[in-house]
Amino acid sequence: MVGTLVAAVAGLTATVLAAALTSRTALLATAGALVFAGVCVLVGWAAFAVAGAEEARRSGTGFAVVATLLAVVGAMVVFAPPSIPEPASARSDVRYWELPTGSRIAYTSVAARGTVRSDPVVFLHDELGAPADGVSDLGRALAADGYPVYAYDQLGVGRSARLSDPAGYTVARHVADLEAIRITLGAPRLVLIGQSWGASLAAQYLAAHPDRVAKVVFSAPGPLWPQSWPSGVGDPRSADPTRSMALESSPRMMLAAALLTVNPKAAHDFMPDPEADDRSRTQTLLLRDGCPGTASPIPAPLPGFYSTQRTAIDFKAIPDPRPALRGNPTPALILRGTCDHTHPEVAAEYTSTFPNSHQPPIPNAGHALLPTTPPYQTHITAFLHP
């Protein structure tokens, strides 16, 4: 039993290490199976050789044969792709931008009514996935106030296109896509409303294009620069600041996650987007914030596994954007629930960075700020139409 366990660990390690040399799934499977079988053979022969009997040696050979069969069967189980259900059908109101960056981006929109404003509102969703339900009630209210409103699925998420190599999911690519969207809309400036990671993306866009945002709303913002929070952004003063995620822990998913750290292309070839997205479709993030009753389960109905994972990895490696942001005069509204599990200093850094900003309190609310969260929508509509 111990020998089999050692062999299994060695086989998986060999598979992951082989990914540094190739992304071909067949070669990865072969490397893992050979190492598993080889370790089993060595352990088996060594164990039986201690006994010293010829009959024991023959038993050791039989054990080696069984181990080899186990390696083959194990490789077939782990590397055989399962059947994947058909993807969700497109909503009737979903449209697509074919951007010069090479990204095919899905979006929904609501036309402005009345006197049309020149600066369209663009919603930036958080890292969990796309705005599957289209433009929110808040967006519709802003459209009624004259703003053209757009909500889009970031590259690799929701109904937007996927990349064949997940290494292409970078913060810079998302910023370039957003700038291409602005150009496509023919808008001199945008009004950005970003939630969580979407707020971090809005800040990154401002760092790259400081004069192309008319106003910005940072809603439950993620960090401006994650390296300034080496211990994470969770607030130890909250009652329960943890974020628990229910993810399928199958051998295939665990191996895909391991391969992703070594060779994203190998992970993608091993587990293509339809399977990876389907396995993470049932993922639910439970935000346990600092006030009783503020735990908010958030499903991910249209996830983008590789985009989410690789963007998060790249975000931790970007240069510090804060020098480029300090003193930016763009009017900014920072919204943070008083029960948010993140450090208050995360949002406070936005306030100190942007001189033309203010942060009204959102009492008894957690990280999952929604249009129905009072007085969330009131603050935004007043900010955009004072």
Shared domain for 143 and 204, answered yes or no, is yes
Flag whether pLDDT at 67 surpasses 90.
no
Distance CA 365, CA 337 (A): 4
Residue-wise pLDDT for 180-196, tens only, equals: 999 999 999 999 999 99
pTM (predicted TM-score): 0.83
The CATH number of residue 221's host domain is 3.40.50.1820
292 assigned to some structural domain = yes
Number of domain units in the chain: 2
For the residues of 137-152, what is the DSSP string, one character each?
HHHHHHHHTT--EEEE
Tell me whether residue 266 is in a domain: no
Structure-model confidence comparison of residues 345 and 127, the more confident one: 345
> How does pLDDT run across 282-319, given as a tens digit for each residue?
655 555 566 655 555 555 556 788 998 999 999 999 99
Whether 123 and 168 map to the same domain: the answer is: yes
pLDDT beyond 70 at 17: yes
In-domain check, residue 270: no
Question: Of 44, 79, 114, which marks where a domain is finished?
Answer: 79
Residue 100 has pLDDT above 90, yes or no: yes
Query: Are 57 and 198 contained in the same domain?
Result: no
Q: Which two tokens stand for residue 174?
A: 């998302």
Q: How many whole angstroms separate alpha carbon 137 and alpha carbon 143?
A: 10
Backbone phi, then psi, for 187, in 5-degree steps? -100, 130
Q: In this structure, are 45 and 112 located in the same domain?
A: no
Amino acid at 121: V
User: Is residue 207 over pLDDT 80?
Assistant: yes
Please check whether residue 28 lies inside any domain of the structure: yes
**Residues, the chain:** 386
Cα 314–Cα 210–Cα 188 angle in degrees, nearest 5: 115
- Regarding whether 211 and 359 lie in a shared domain, the answer is yes
Is the per-residue pLDDT at 149 higher than 90? yes
Domain membership of residue 108 as a residue range: 95-247+283-384
Query: Per the domain annotation, does 263 fall within a domain?
Result: no
Distance from C-alpha of 178 to C-alpha of 223, rounded to nearest angstrom: 19
Residues 209 and 67 in one domain: no
In a domain, 101, yes or no: yes
In this structure, is residue 351 part of a structural domain?
yes
Model confidence at 246, pLDDT cuts 50, 70, 90, reads: very low
Q: Are 59 and 204 found together in one domain?
A: no
- 316 in the same domain as 187: yes
Cα distances from 199 to residues 8, 56, 75, 223, in angstroms, run: 43, 66, 42, 9
Claim to verify: residue 230 and residue 120 sit in the same structural domain: yes
> Does residue 256 lie in a domain region?
no
235 and 331 housed in the same domain: yes
Q: Which of 79, 109, 143 is the last residue of a domain?
A: 79
